[in-house]
Structure 1
Amino acid sequence: MSNQATETLSLNEEAIAKARSCLSEGAVTPSIQPYAEQICKLLNDALATEWVCVLRYRRHYFTAQGLESPAIAGEFLVHATQEQQHADKLSERIVQLGGEPKLDPASFSARSHADYDESTDLNDMIRANLVAERVIIEVYRQMIAIIGDKDPTTTQMLKSILADEEEHADELSDWLAQ
């Protein structure tokens, strides 16, 4: 048997032994364990941000007024729904990593990377949402860089959310340009 085949067999045996050793820890394998708590903290702050975005978009959906408001308000509702889906994904991943999603609404503003907004002018609403999207885009990029290959599943999830946030920013930028 070649050295490479022996090394592969040894790696497989080691992976099997590690997998069997802590079955109760679910997705938290030994390679993620040292980082799980820090990753959960990052995800919980992103979770607070997503909830603030859900609330901001929904407020804007209900209060948007003006000639172009029905179309833009509809887009706000679509974005609110997608932000809620992001929050759900983040919550699920936090639990998979052995953490607890921090869903106390009183803590959202302090932990959120984006601001809540009570604008009544349609252009101000669009601008506030665009600023928030641009902030969270940068935050997700930084999180992806920090987490990297320490937790590929979380990194992949964040990349998927990032793509949605970039799409939101493009749509809002288009509305603002009109």
Structure 2
Amino acid sequence: MSHGLALDVNRIRREALQTMSAGPATTRYGLDTERVVSVLNDVVATEVLGWLRSSRQALAIRGENRSEVRALLDRHAEQEMRHAVAIAGRIKQLGAQPNFDPATLAQRAHTDYSTPNDGELRGMLEQDLEAARIMVSTYREVADWLGDRDPTTRRLVESVLVDQRENADALGELLAV
């Protein structure tokens, strides 16, 4: 008995040619594209706000013995901007426009931007840990909501979730010291 895969490449080619005029492949899935884009734009806002917060806090940290913390916050900031750009790219793939409007970023984000005073290292780390845990929870819910109806977007959100979970763990370790 053969368990090999037999592909009918001619049939697949015909089907691909027939669907080319139908627009992007992503328009044929079972989710409300406008709702998905709205949710993703909120994720973009959250990541941009995280980039702003982490960047500001990394700049605010003083003292040579805090270079490890500064480097961690710089890495988080870089990650958050990469996340925002990746999610914005997915929004474009879905045929919509990413929303980077600074006038509405704070209202759309899942986290806030309040920052402790410069030099209040513990307060900064606690705020970042809270934000990371909020992102972990909200991104998990977004991924679950997407489910198998949009596996491409779900995998992207899950990859951001993995990074945020690692960030939360690293921040928690710093606070435990």
Q: How does 1:21-60 map to 2 (within 5 A)?
A: 21-22=21-22, 25-32=23-30, 34-60=31-57
Q: Which amino acid counterpart does residue 146 of structure 2 have in structure 1?
A: I
Q: Does residue 1:84 correspond to 2:70, yes or no?
A: no
Residue matched to 2:20 = 20
The 1-side partners of 2:145 and 2:18 are apart by 25
Q: Which is worse superposed, 11-20 or 159-168?
A: 11-20
CA contact (8 A) 2:27 2:94 kept: no
Distance change >3 Å, CA 68–CA 126, structure 1 → 2: farther
> Partners of 1:151 and 1:139 in 2: how far apart?
17
Residue 17 of structure 1, CA deviation? 7.1
Could you state the TM-score of these two structures normalised by the residue count of structure 1? 0.86
What stretches of structure 1 of length at least 5 have no aligned partner?
1-7
After superposition, residues 52-131 of structure 1 pair within 5 angstroms as 52-66=49-63, 68-119=65-116, 120=118, 121-131=120-130
Matched residues, percent identical?
Answer: 33
RMSD: 2.2
Aligned length: 167
What are the ranges of 5 or more consecutive residues in structure 2 without an aligned counterpart?
1-7
SS in structure 2 of the partner of residue 102 of structure 1: coil
The residue type equivalent to 1:45 in the other structure is: D
Measured after TM superposition, the shift of residue 116 of structure 1 is: 0.8
Q: Match for residue 172 of structure 2?
A: 173
Q: With structure 2 as the length reference, what TM-score do the two structures score?
A: 0.86
